[in-house]
Amino acid sequence: MHRVARAAEDEDERRRRRRWPLLTAVAVDSVGAGLYLPLSLLYFLKVTDLDLATIGLLVSATTALTLPVPIVVGRLADRFGPRLVVAGGQALQGAGFLLYLTVSGAGSLVVAVLVTMAGSRVYWSSIFTLIADHADHTGAGEAKDHWYARTGMIREAGAGGGALLASALLAFDSTGVYDGLILGSALAFLAAALLVVLAVPALPHTRPPADGPSGHRALLRDRPYLALIGTCTIFALCSTFLALSLPVYVVQGLSGPDWVPGPLLAMNTLLLATCTASLTRFVRRHGTRARALTWAGALWALWCALSAAAVLLPAQALVPYLVVVVVVYTAAEMISGPATNALAADAAPAGSRGTYLAAFQYSFAIANIVAPGLFGLLFSRHHQLPWLVVGLLATLGAVLMPRLERRLPQERQPAGAGVPESSA
């Protein structure tokens, strides 16, 4: 008996050791992204003579050129496994940031952004497949949710730490500091790629079937999965709206102090980096992933209603009220992220997971493209209009998920989840 228990403990310890290289690579990668975050377009303003409008147009157009990349990446992940594809994406991003150091005009800017954004598309189109493969290797039905929760927390912590460091250094406002931060980002991405290649274990990988439809042909025939992508695009749109809308709405829509958005966004990041795994564990014990997404949609709808009602408050109550509003939004984000990715991974057929999850990333790509224009258009018409439209979309997503759940593969439930004690 003791020997069996000891063997189980040893196996758990081996699995924990295998987990850390991937989590560490995610952390290093996230620090690199965080170092660049406060720079964004400012770097190109510093090192070129181009104006902001031209830089914005060039970056947007170049980013759009990389939209077809996930189509190719998914097939590569299915054929060769996701590990080296992830490392390739990180290496491309590192090379792209090294090219940033050579930018002097429009042409070199386009080349640097193209390489960097292509690497980013490769990475995000394959990392969730790699995480799902490692989660499957633990053998637990709920492992994907916990893996996605933990990697999400690490990404938030790494990116937040990198952004804070970069923001502090930018106070010196010198070209040397700007170049140093870009070099730091490049080295972080290259180090993460090296870590994935050398330390992350290669796992057995299911290849696409030789006969029958697979890859993109199977995906295009899989109406439930396409419906899942469409529904999760709604949730992805909701998840982009806080950072986009909060600063403008607080200052222009509510006439609040301009110092408020920063601490509120920092609180959002802190909660995501510390509480996601605990909330995911709680939610997973009390329902399916589709039900969790229904709850997330309902919370986002509540967030929209509370945000719209903020105009009715007296000035002295605004800040504590907004703290509650952001907590409601963050709870929805913490529930949605792991459940969305785990549901998408388990709904993909064996041998085509890379293709399916790469296509699933279009839900986030579409949301990131649509959200800024949608918010700007609605907010310019009426300050309450974004909350009405996004609230209705969140409600629609919450209504659609239970119907869609019946058409997706039945998921394995954790022991005791949603099961009466007598039945257990």
Structure confidence at residue 349 (pLDDT): 86
DSSP per residue over 285-329, as a string? HTS-HHHHHHHHHHHHHHHHHHHHHGGGS-HHHHHHHHHHHHHHH
- Alpha carbons 14 and 201: distance in angstroms, whole number: 12
Q: In this structure, what DSSP letter does residue 418 have?
A: T
Structure confidence at residue 214 (pLDDT): 62
So where are the chain's domains?
12-200, 221-409
Range 375-399 average pLDDT: 92
Q: Worst-scoring range by mean pLDDT, 14-18, 30-34, 76-80, 362-366? A: 14-18
Q: Give the burial class of 227: count Cβ atoms within 10 A of its Cβ; 0-12 exposed, 13-18 middle, 19 or more buried.
A: middle
Q: What is the CA radius of gyration of the chain?
A: 22
Range 208-227 average pLDDT: 77
- Alpha carbons 413 and 418: distance in angstroms, whole number: 8
Q: In this structure, what DSSP letter does residue 104 have?
A: -
Q: What is the pLDDT of residues 351-368, one digit of tens each?
A: 888 999 999 999 998 998
pLDDT level of residue 421 (50, 70, 90 thresholds):
very low
DSSP per residue over 28-73, as a string? HHHHHHHHHTTTTTHHHHHHSS--HHHHHHHHHHHHHHTTTHHHHH
Taking alpha carbons only, the member of 344, 340, 356 closest to residue 280 is: 340
pLDDT at 413 over 60: no
- Alpha carbons 367 and 364: distance in angstroms, whole number: 5
- Alpha carbons 354 and 414: distance in angstroms, whole number: 25
CB 85 within 8 A of CB 124: no
- Alpha carbons 152 and 136: distance in angstroms, whole number: 18
Listed in sequence order, the residues at least 6 apart from 312 whose beta carbon sits closer than 8 Å to its beta carbon are none
CB 125 within 8 A of CB 96: no
CB 77 within 8 A of CB 129: yes
Structure confidence at residue 84 (pLDDT): 93
Angle of CA points 337, 166, 278, to nearest 5°: 25
Alpha carbon dihedral 291, 296, 299, 301, in 10-degree steps, equals -100
Range 127-131 average pLDDT: 91
pLDDT at 12 over 80: no
Structure confidence at residue 419 (pLDDT): 33
Q: In the numeric block, which tokens belong to residue 108?
A: 């070199």
Structure confidence at residue 4 (pLDDT): 46
Same CATH topology for 12-200 and 221-409: the answer is yes
* SS3 label, residue 256: coil
CB 309 within 8 A of CB 383: no
Range 145-153 average pLDDT: 90
Q: Which CATH superfamily is domain 221-409 in?
A: MFS general substrate transporter like domains (1.20.1250.20)
Structure confidence at residue 213 (pLDDT): 59
- Alpha carbons 237 and 364: distance in angstroms, whole number: 7
Listed in sequence order, the residues at least 6 apart from 423 whose beta carbon sits closer than 8 Å to its beta carbon are none
pLDDT at 325 over 90: yes
Taking alpha carbons only, the member of 139, 135, 406, 420 closest to residue 290 is: 406
pTM over cut 0.75: yes
CB 112 within 8 A of CB 100: yes
Q: What percent of the chain shows pLDDT beyond 90?
A: 47
CATH fold group of domain 12-200 = Growth Hormone; Chain: A; (1.20.1250)
Structure confidence at residue 338 (pLDDT): 93
Give 305-314's long-range contacts (Cβ < 8 A, gap of 24+). Answer: 305/387, 305/391, 307/245, 307/249, 307/387, 308/384, 308/387, 308/388, 308/391, 310/254, 311/253, 311/254, 311/383, 311/384
pLDDT level of residue 20 (50, 70, 90 thresholds):
confident
